[in-house]
Amino acid sequence: MPEVRQGAGRTALLGSWLRNRSIRITIMMVFVGLLLLTAVPIVWYMHARNTDALLELADELMTHLSESIIEKTTSYLAPASVMAEMSADLANVDQFSLTEAPGLETTAVAVLHAYPQLAMFNMGDEHGNFLMPKKMPDGSIATKIILRDAQPPAVIWKYRDLQGNVVRTETDSKIDYDPRQRPWYQGAKETHGHYWTDMYILFTDQVPGITTSYPVVDRQGRTVAVFGLDIELGSMSAFLQTLKVGSNGVAFIFNEASEVVAYPETSQLVRAEGDTLRPALIHEIGDPRVTHCMENYRTSGASRFTFATTDGARYLASVMDFPDSFDNDWKIGLIVLQDDFIGSLRDTARHTLYIALAILTASLFLARMLARSISHPITALASEAHEIQEFRLDQPITLDSSIREIQELRDALARMKLGLSAFRKYVPAELVQQLIHTGQAARLGGHEEELTIFFSDIAGFTSISETMSPETLMMHLSGYLDELTRVIQEDRGTVDKYIGDSVMAFWGAPTQQTNHAFRACHAALRCKQRVHELNVQWLAEGKPQLPTRIGIHTGSVVVGNIGSRDRMNYSVIGDAVNVASRLEGANKRYGTRIIVSQATREQIRDPFVFRPLDRVAVLGRKQGIMIYELMGAPEIELRPDAEQLRDGFSHALDAYFQRDWRRAVDLFTELIAAFPDDAPSALFLDRCRALMAAPPGADWTGITRLESK
């Protein structure tokens, strides 16, 4: 039901606006409506056609790019399979022996030099003998030879330099590797043909790798040996890193077990679990693009799709299987920033839209000029009437029109403006303006309302006045009061009266304000800031400074017209007025500039910074209230260390009210050391010392009585 009522309310507002629209709006609505009926279908059709073309092109480009990468990847792996088979075919089956065929090592070294992607050449036989040349990080070759047939069995390492010369040989009797137990050996032996292993951690280098192998079979069909070549996946990842996948794309390969086969960042390929290493899973590489891609792939099952990351970037993605001719269940994922493919075409579509919008804008401008030429005189007179309603009467009416009725209306408004301008010399303009806004009649009486009361006073004004002549003092004080009044009115406050050098104002009447406490505090900080600026200026001019103290309190008062039927004063009366006045005077006791009551503080949260100051009872009250110093706000009169001072003072004040005066003395002493100019800390330090010297009775409440202003 509330939603129905809200919908009905919005419909009523729209209907009211349509019934009361201006002449200019009416003309522009008709003009724009006709233009939109023509332009929108054309723009929509162009946008739809361009969108379809972009999507078709993006799909085609993604297909070609994915197929190209798969082709390059399989070409990258193919030499290993070919060389394994070729080496096995060239072996002398009848007299095959790893230990007696030195040419095998030479051939293997040549293969490793010929193909950069190959890391190791493995050759094992049915006796457990093993020959493995492998590339070292500097490009040289180290060969591991396991001779199980020798007496005694041995492990030999031969190290060659970059020219292929053997520069060092090491021998060990400990044999910790049996090729016959390795997947590449067993797989080729079982299949009697090409075999690709699953991804695993290479035994010698402890890095991810994959091996392709091919068996050496004798005339009876028995496997006598297996040749295998290792490809470190780091090399394949480096290969993927060289691929240009748009400006911010990535290609990656994974298997059915969600293990990362290749990824441009090689450091992400391995994960440690205890003392062992394992291939990283796809979700562990920490790439949000890959994570979002795989989530969409598993959810939709589509091979091509689009997705967006949390930063708002949109990507095109493709997940394709390797061809059936490849023995492993690998898939290649391709992620490309959408703008890399279709950005230029989208720009064309966007530019087309911009051109249409430019034409529409130009048409709107012409329609506006036409409407303005018709409606301007009427609008100008309505604006002048509004200026009169707002009691802004300083500027004359300068409207020129050739229409007689408008001339007569202009002259009548000019005479009204002149009469009201003379009238406001006798009545406060802001009061009449607010009464006009609220529609209240000028009659005696008032009503109870919760308002926020503001009192300001100049510290030491009596001494200041003795140093100036009455005329100079009057001009100096008038300038000061004018600035404070302007700030208060800008924050929608009502200036009640001037009492000598004091200003009394309130918020919440005659126009109701739900945030009257906030506005009063905001105005107080701006007054403090403005007075500081004026004091700097007056000091430079040799004029007396006017330090200002402010008190603010929120409470119930009677607000209305007070006086006689012939002479009224719109004002407030009540205990809350007395409290605000006393709080202004309390600044002198605490050495502060702005004090607000607990009632005001409770209605305000951020952004103001309040410091709890004391628990006081004003004259005529028995109960105490907490009072706070308004220290500032982030952009108004806030010292950088204000929160540090507030928090430190709060802790010390808590100790004070808990009668822990020793701790309070320590805390206030620390505060004074950090903030030597903080008068409240010095005041409470003296109080605590006095209470320690002469402890009060059990009825002590910590309430300070403000017996006078």
Cα–Cα dist 352/338, whole Å? 20
Cα–Cα dist 84/115, whole Å? 13
Bridge partners of 227?
Answer: 123, 214
Cα–Cα dist 431/563, whole Å? 15
For residue 553, what pLDDT is reported?
96
Write the DSSP assignment of 543-568 as a string of letters. Answer: PPP--EEEEEEEEEEEEEEEE-SSSE
Lowest mean pLDDT segment, chosen from 1-10, 149-158, 379-388, 474-483: 1-10
For residue 412, what pLDDT is reported?
80
Q: Is the preceding peptide bond at 208 cis, omega within 30 degrees of 0?
A: no
Bridge partners of 687?
Answer: none
> How confident is residue 162, by pLDDT bands cut at 50, 70 and 90?
confident
E strand or H helix that includes residue 625: strand 625-632
Residue pair 587/616 in contact by the 8 Å Cβ criterion: no
The first and second tokens of residue 564, run together, are 């006689």
Residue pair 416/396 in contact by the 8 Å Cβ criterion: no
Long-range contacts, stretch 470-473, CB < 8 angstroms, 24+ apart: none
Bridge partners of 336?
Answer: 316
Strand stretches in 148-240, DSSP E: 154-160, 166-172, 195-196, 200-201, 208-217, 223-232
Four-way CATH pick for 82-232: 3.40.50.720, 3.40.50.2300, 3.30.450.20, 3.40.50.150:
3.30.450.20
Lowest mean pLDDT segment, chosen from 404-418, 545-559, 686-700: 404-418
Write the DSSP assignment of 45-72 as a string of letters. Answer: HHHHHHHHHHHHHHHHHHHHHHHHHHHH
Q: First vs last Cα of the chain: how many Å apart?
A: 55
Bridge partners of 277?
Answer: 272
**What does the mean pLDDT of the chain come to?**
82
Cα–Cα dist 482/461, whole Å? 17
For residue 21, what pLDDT is reported?
63
> How confident is residue 692, by pLDDT bands cut at 50, 70 and 90?
very high
pLDDT digits (tens, 9 = 90+) for 293-343: 888 888 888 888 888 888 878 888 888 888 776 667 888 888 888 777 666
- Is residue 381 classed as helix, strand or coil in its secondary structure? helix
Cα–Cα dist 148/220, whole Å? 24
Most confident of 1-5, 17-21, 653-657: 653-657
Residue pair 24/375 in contact by the 8 Å Cβ criterion: yes
pLDDT digits (tens, 9 = 90+) for 456-466: 999 999 888 88
* Beta-strand relationship, 703-706 and 609-618: parallel
Cα–Cα dist 638/610, whole Å? 11
Write the DSSP assignment of 325-350 as a string of letters. Answer: TSSS-EEEEEEEEHHHHHHHHHHHHH
Position 360, amino acid:
L
Q: Is the preceding peptide bond at 152 cis, omega within 30 degrees of 0?
A: yes
Q: 23-90 and 233-242 are packed helices; what angle lies between their axes, rounded to 10 degrees? A: 140
- Is 90 exceeded by the pLDDT of residue 394? no
H-helix segments, 91-116? 102-114
Q: Which CATH class is domain 236-342?
A: alpha beta
pLDDT digits (tens, 9 = 90+) for 397-435: 777 766 677 777 777 877 777 776 665 544 555 566 665
Cα–Cα dist 330/73, whole Å? 11
For residue 505, what pLDDT is reported?
95
Assigned fold of 443-637 = Alpha-Beta Plaits (3.30.70)
| pTM exceeds 0.85, yes or no | no
For residue 250, what pLDDT is reported?
85
Residue pair 240/334 in contact by the 8 Å Cβ criterion: no
Residue pair 608/630 in contact by the 8 Å Cβ criterion: yes
Cα–Cα dist 674/681, whole Å? 11
pLDDT digits (tens, 9 = 90+) for 499-547: 989 999 999 988 888 999 999 999 999 999 999 999 999 999 999 999 9
Sorted by where each begins, the domain ranges of the chain are: 82-232, 236-342, 391-423, 443-637, 639-709
**Who wins on pLDDT, 401 or 151?**
151
Side-chain half-sphere CA neighbours of 549 within 13 A: 21
> How confident is residue 655, by pLDDT bands cut at 50, 70 and 90?
very high
pLDDT digits (tens, 9 = 90+) for 177-191: 899 998 889 988 898
DSSP assignment letter at 275: T
Please state, in angstroms and as integers, the Cα–Cα distance from residue 538 to each residue in 19, 24, 531, 549, following that order. 56, 51, 10, 18
Cα–Cα dist 99/91, whole Å? 13
Alpha carbon of residue 525 to chain centroid: 29
Alpha carbon of residue 694 to chain centroid: 56
Cα–Cα dist 692/687, whole Å? 9
> How confident is residue 691, by pLDDT bands cut at 50, 70 and 90?
very high
For residue 287, what pLDDT is reported?
85
pLDDT digits (tens, 9 = 90+) for 107-135: 888 888 888 878 888 888 888 888 889 88
Contacts of 583 (CB under 8 A, 6+ apart): 455, 551, 552, 553, 595, 596, 597, 618, 627
Residue pair 231/80 in contact by the 8 Å Cβ criterion: yes
Instruction: Please state the rounded mean pLDDT for residues 40-58.
Output: 67
Share of the chain above pLDDT 90, in %: 28
Q: List phi, psi (to 5°) of 608.
A: -75, 150
Contacts of 585 (CB under 8 A, 6+ apart): 457, 549, 551, 706, 708, 709
Instruction: Please state the rounded mean pLDDT for residues 675-693.
Output: 95
Residue in the block written with tokens 């004018």: 482
pLDDT digits (tens, 9 = 90+) for 616-649: 998 767 788 999 999 999 888 788 899 999 999 9
**Who wins on pLDDT, 440 or 46?**
46
E strand or H helix that includes residue 321: strand 314-321
**Who wins on pLDDT, 534 or 386?**
534
Write the DSSP assignment of 458-514 as a string of letters. Answer: ETTHHHHHTTS-HHHHHHHHHHHHHHHHHHHHHTT-EEEEEETTEEEEEESSSS--T
Residue pair 453/580 in contact by the 8 Å Cβ criterion: yes
pLDDT digits (tens, 9 = 90+) for 257-307: 888 888 888 778 888 888 788 888 888 888 888 888 888 888 888 888 888
Nearest to 671 by CA among 657, 663, 660, 682: 682
Mark residue 666 as left, alpha or beta (left: phi above 0; alpha: psi -120 to 50; beta: remaining): alpha
- Is residue 590 classed as helix, strand or coil in its secondary structure? helix
CA dihedral 347, 353, 359, 360 (to 10 degrees): -140
DSSP assignment letter at 659: T
- Is 90 exceeded by the pLDDT of residue 382? no
For residue 151, what pLDDT is reported?
81
Q: Count of CB atoms within 10 A of residue 357's CB?
A: 13
For residue 39, what pLDDT is reported?
64
Domain 236-342 shares a fold with domain 443-637: no
